[in-house]
Amino acid sequence: MRKLFVFLKDYKKETILAPLFKLLEAFFELLVPLVMAGIIDRGIADKDMGYIGLMGLCLLALGAVGLVSSITAQFFAAKAAVGFSAKVRQALFDHIQSLDFTNIDKAGTSTMITRMTSDINQVQSGVNLVLRLFLRSPIIVFGAMVMAFTIDVKSALVFVVAIPLMAVVVFGIMIVTIPLYRRVQSALDKVLGITRENLTGVRVIRAFHQEGKEEERFQEENRVLANLQKFVGKISACMNPVTYVIVNGAIIALIYIGAIQVNIGSLTQGEVVAIINYMSQILVELVKLANLIITVTKALACADRVAGVLEIQNAEAAPLPPGAGDVKADASSKEAGGGGREASPFLEFDHVSLTYQGAGDKTLEDVTFQVQKGQTIGIIGGTGSGKSSLVNLIPGFYPVTEGAIRIEGQDIRTIPAEELRGRIGVVPQKAVLFKGTIRDNLQWGKPDATEEEMWSALDIAQAREVVEGKQGGLDAEVAQNGRNFSGGQRQRLTIARALVRRPDILILDDAASALDYATDARLRQALQSVENEATTFIVSQRASSILHADLIIVLDDGAVAGLGTHEQLLQDSTVYQEIYYSQYPEKAKEA
């Protein structure tokens, strides 16, 4: 929680004024029993109606001033709490945006969502109540005890015994429940994770008739969460009855001692009533304090979880190998007998390996190849062979574990992320569109793109008919996640979005999987105009999508199983032959 205090710095005035007005309210509240004592001992005893009326007006004035002070305190407390939570939420969102894929994968989407919503809401409630009650309740408790001592020392000794007992109960329960509330929030993460998984995979669940199994899985995690909440709730629920027992026991003692004191003439009836009122005030405030502590306990647990995300830092880049920034040329680029060199490669993978954090085996191992500017690179292989992992290394989404990736001779780890990704257009496996308009989505690729540039990109991506078929054209509405478009339409629009910026490197990660063969063929033909300018990586399960590529990389279980053109691989690569002939059985007969 302490690490989050920095977000209150813009609300210093509110964090000071809210408790001050609450203290003002408490001060007037402490005067009420003394006024009541005066009414009983002087007004009622002497039948002085004028005095009773005057003191009655005084009580009304104290109540009115207390109400104004309370409302003012609430205003400042709410302003500070809401502003604080807004800043924390923004900081958390910005920090998550800065995390690399490794940390996001490790933390988990459901955890991030819970901390962004439920946890921050709990922290907001905690800040609000602390500003309103954290000073008021102790002041009332100790102020009532001091006022009781000014009336009668012997009776006030009851306060000295009762208050420490109640403090032990309140803070003891607080210490026990803090770790339990952390466990409750962790269990909530799991329930949210299952819910999210079921919502995103609902079609698969129904296709395989797994509704019953998923319901049981959800019920089990929900049962764990409910049991945890009931357990910690039972402990927290002990606070009110135990404090009531202590306070009511103290009131019984006060009545007994007060009766004796009145009988011997040491106390008046009004003073006994005042002392009992002070004890009742303590009871009310301790109940408030108990509720405050329950809320603050939850808030502290949630604040630790939020701070935990803010403490996540991207791992430092692995040390660069010697000469990482130097331009290299492969020995194989020498011309036979001439000894000369071709132009330095535009992009180079130099013995690259990748191991995901927490994984036992390497996902990619010793991948080496060179690409010239404007070439088309096809990447093919079985499911899980590492195709997407390979292209995700180029924009630096994941850091290489071994080796180096160079663009124009410069190691990508030495290039600022914004500059590196500004040169790359990526179309991921899952086509993602954002709520807004088609124009808004295309301008993600280039914020200042003209309509001419957007229509040009749409033409290449075979998406013109998609846009023209929507009312409003470029200004047609896009629903959340692009739900008002088919899978193929979403893919074509995401390809257009990547093309708008005219990137140096274009990565199509199985980006045409939802397109029919005719549209895929037209897309490949149109991309050739871009390929002369951009270095294009095409990841595909279809051999037809990469036949024309200048270089085809065949991956098998994370290793390069073939490297060359289509014709070369048909002769040299067994893995490529299996893939190609499985898709073109008639060619297998001819071979």
Domain coordinates of the chain in residue numbers? Answer: 2-310, 343-590
What band does 332 get if pLDDT is binned at 50, 70 and 90? very low
Q: How far apart are CA 117 and CA 1, in angstroms?
A: 16
Per-residue pLDDT reduced to its tens digit, 348-385: 999 999 988 777 788 899 999 999 998 899 999 888 88
Give me the architecture of the 2-310 domain, per CATH: Up-down Bundle (1.20)
Q: How far apart are CA 96 and CA 86, in angstroms?
A: 15
What band does 589 get if pLDDT is binned at 50, 70 and 90? low
Q: How far apart are CA 306 and CA 120, in angstroms?
A: 7
Please state the φ and ψ torsions of residue 472, each to the nearest 5 degrees.
Answer: 105, -10
Q: How far apart are CA 183 and CA 230, in angstroms?
A: 12
pLDDT of residue 588: 64
Question: What's the whole-number mean pLDDT along residues 35-42?
Answer: 80
Q: Are 158 and 254 in contact (CB under 8 A)?
A: yes
Assigned token pair, 45 = 């005893």
Grouping H, G, I as helix, E, B as strand and the rest as coil, residue 570 is helix
Q: Strand 559-564 vs strand 410-411: parallel, antiparallel, or unpaired?
A: unpaired
Q: Are 305 and 178 in contact (CB under 8 A)?
A: no
Indicate the average pLDDT of the chain.
84
How many other C-beta atoms lie within 10 A of the C-beta of residue 239? 23
What band does 328 get if pLDDT is binned at 50, 70 and 90? very low
Q: Strand 505-509 vs strand 535-539: parallel, antiparallel, or unpaired?
A: parallel
Q: Given a cut of 80, is residue 252 above it in pLDDT?
A: yes
- Say which amino acid occupies 366: D
Q: Given a cut of 80, is residue 463 above it in pLDDT?
A: yes
Which residues, in sequence order, are CB contacts of 395 under 8 Å at separation 6+? 420, 421, 424, 426, 507
Per-residue pLDDT reduced to its tens digit, 182-191: 788 788 888 8
Q: How far apart are CA 543 and CA 155, in angstroms?
A: 93
Q: Are 83 and 11 in contact (CB under 8 A)?
A: yes
Lowest-confidence segment of 5-9, 230-234, 286-290 by average pLDDT: 286-290
Which is higher by pLDDT, 250 or 405?
A: 405
Q: How far apart are CA 499 and CA 461, in angstroms?
A: 8
Per-residue pLDDT reduced to its tens digit, 101-140: 878 877 777 778 888 888 899 899 889 988 888 778 788 8
107: Cα within 13 Å, side-chain hemisphere:
25
Question: What's the whole-number mean pLDDT along residues 325-353?
Answer: 59
Does the pTM of the predicted model rise above 0.75? no
pLDDT of residue 114: 82
Lowest-confidence segment of 70-74, 217-221, 320-324, 547-551 by average pLDDT: 320-324
Q: How far apart are CA 100 and CA 589, in angstroms?
A: 48
Q: How far apart are CA 27 and CA 281, in angstroms?
A: 12
Q: Does domain 343-590 have CATH number 3.40.50.300?
A: yes
Q: How far apart are CA 528 and CA 95, in angstroms?
A: 39
Which is higher by pLDDT, 426 or 527?
A: 426
Q: How far apart are CA 348 and CA 139, in angstroms?
A: 70
Question: What's the whole-number mean pLDDT along residues 168-175?
Answer: 81
Q: Are 81 and 128 in contact (CB under 8 A)?
A: yes
The H-or-E segment that residue 125 falls in is helix 120-133
Q: Given a cut of 50, is residue 337 above it in pLDDT?
A: no
pLDDT of residue 80: 93
Q: Given a cut of 60, is residue 335 above it in pLDDT?
A: no
Q: Are 82 and 76 in contact (CB under 8 A)?
A: no
Per-residue pLDDT reduced to its tens digit, 193-247: 888 888 888 888 888 888 899 999 999 999 999 999 999 888 888 877 888 888 7
Core vs surface per residue 444-475: b (16+ CB within 10 A) or e: bbbeebeeebbbbbbebbbbbebbeebeeebe
Rounded to 10°, the helix 49-98/12-38 angle is 160
pLDDT of residue 317: 54
Assigned token pair, 282 = 């303590």
pLDDT of residue 349: 94
343-590 shares the fold of 2-310: no
